[in-house]
Amino acid sequence: MLNKAQTLKGYKLQTLDGELGTVNEFYFDDHYWTIRYLVADTGNWLTGRKILISPYALAGVNKEEQFIAVDLTKKQIEDSPSLDSDKPVSRQFEEDYYQFYGWPLYWDGPFMWGSYSTYPYIVRDPEIWEKPSHDDKKWDPNLRSTHDVSGHNIQAEDGYIGHVEDFIIDDETWTIRYLIIDTKNWWPGKKVLVSPQWIDRVSWSESTVFVNLTREAIRQSPEYTEELLLTRDYENGLHRHYDRQRYWMEDPITKEQSR
């Protein structure tokens, strides 16, 4: 199911033995545009620590009761590697974190989830993890915060079009499917969706996302509204408008190997 990041913010986090806290924000990588960690707000519990929950531990989203099930105990989370709340996520922390939980490193291979080509789904079977991988290709993840990237400028092929307002997250694969773009400073009154697959590059130093679309194509694109349900019919119309491959029709192996 597709959800706005801002909608999921504030959802309760239900562990195996009680409530942990609420969702605060998300960290994603700028290579696959996939959520790598959910950042928890634990209130007065574990004060001073930044609590990160990997999608490996996320068992499902309950939209009716507004909670996310976490397949961990509070004790496991308390004993996990500590990250100071004012420090960025380092590679050393990630390696210690994944080793603690016994999960495979998501960057340890050429695919979205490391050595496993089950795009875009996470492999949660320990028996598969134990199978040796003969692919040495790795990649360097650069983690970004959905909170920090909100507000970044969007630059089309022929000029500025607006800024990032929010993100649309697929809660089955934890992939960012779309960026919500507010165009009010360019073309008042309209919001549009742009897929990360249509991004040409990102200048983090300039806080600008460059997309390989024209301003006119974006202006004519299907409008996104808060009341709109992101149905497959709407997505079909959006991809048809831009004449782009639909992500749900892509061959998983070819998709990952072409990166």
Span 198-225, pLDDT tens digits: 999 999 999 999 999 999 999 999 999 8
Tell me which residues of the chain have a pLDDT lower than 70.
119, 132-136, 250-259
Peptide bond into 120 cis (omega under 30): yes
Q: CA-CA distances (angstroms) from residue 168 to 47, 95, 153, 158, 203?
A: 30, 28, 17, 25, 21
- Give the pLDDT of residue 227: 74
Model-level pTM? 0.91
Task: Name all domains of the chain by residue range, CATH numbers in brackets.
Answer: 2-129 (2.30.30.240), 150-249 (3.90.50.10)
- Give the pLDDT of residue 158: 95
- Give the pLDDT of residue 166: 96
- Give the pLDDT of residue 253: 39
Tens digits of residue pLDDT in 83-107: 998 889 999 999 999 999 999 999 9
Residue 52 neighbours by CB under 8 Å, 6+ apart: 27, 37, 38, 39, 40, 83, 89, 97
**Matching residue, tokens 């709407």:** 234
- Give the pLDDT of residue 252: 47
Output the CA torsion sign for 107, 211, 176, 233: negative
